[in-house]
A and B are shown apart, each in its own frame.
Chain A
């Protein structure tokens, strides 16, 4: 099973750009029908899907964050990256990367996140 590990600065100043990387082992970010998502969780709160990138490089973003977020594939390093612009204290959270299983057939369909990184805490503060 694929393993994921998030990394990046733990502290970002307000108005700056949050940049995180998700390193992938046991699988390739650029092969097959793989979906790679970022999800975040403020302390003591619920989960918020941020967006995904497909192995092709195509992206989908949460409409509430779309104007500030960019997710990309770095095939040479087998990594997924997240950039979130103009951060505020409200962006303080644990950030997870995760893979999705997705199937859409004539009779049934399903989607779920099956592998997750351990998460990395990002604090937005001056």
Chain B
């Protein structure tokens, strides 16, 4: 099993701030990494896949980066609607998949 560890588990920031969420895999996962945003009572929504490819319609203030076992999601210029829980997910061990534990972003 590939374990995905996110940090921090909670971030409090202000509108306009830049934040970075880290995601570490227990072994190398190549580019098989996606990021999701989940708002309360809603299903997750994909933001980024393939480490850094922005899903259509996702604002450009979201950026994914990293390689090997260490990845990050950066949100530049936080907006009120960015309050959510963010999850990373690996597919290197496809067909098995695992998600990170989540990072709650409060604005």
> Which residues does B use to contact A, with CB under 8 Å?
1, 30-32, 34, 36, 42-46, 49-50, 53, 55, 87, 89, 91, 94-102
Task: Provide the main secondary structure of the chain B interface.
Answer: loop
Complexed CA–CA distance, A46 and B100 (Å): 7
Complexed CA–CA distance, A60 and B97 (Å): 10
Task: Provide the main secondary structure of the chain A interface.
Answer: strand
Q: How far is the CB of A51 from chain B (nearest CB, A)?
A: 9
Measured as residues with beta carbon below 8 angstroms from the partner, the interface class of chain A is 20 to 34
Give the number of A-B contacts (CB < 8 Å): 67
Give the residues from 95 to 112 in chain A that come closer than 8 angstroms, CB to CB, to chain B: 96, 98, 101-102, 108-112
Q: Determine if A118 and B43 form an interchain contact, defined as CB atoms under 8 angstroms apart.
A: yes
Q: How far is the CB of A119 from chain B (nearest CB, A)?
A: 6
Q: Determine if A116 and B32 form an interchain contact, defined as CB atoms under 8 angstroms apart.
A: no
Given contacts A110-B32, A111-B94, contact A48 B99 (CB under 8 A): yes
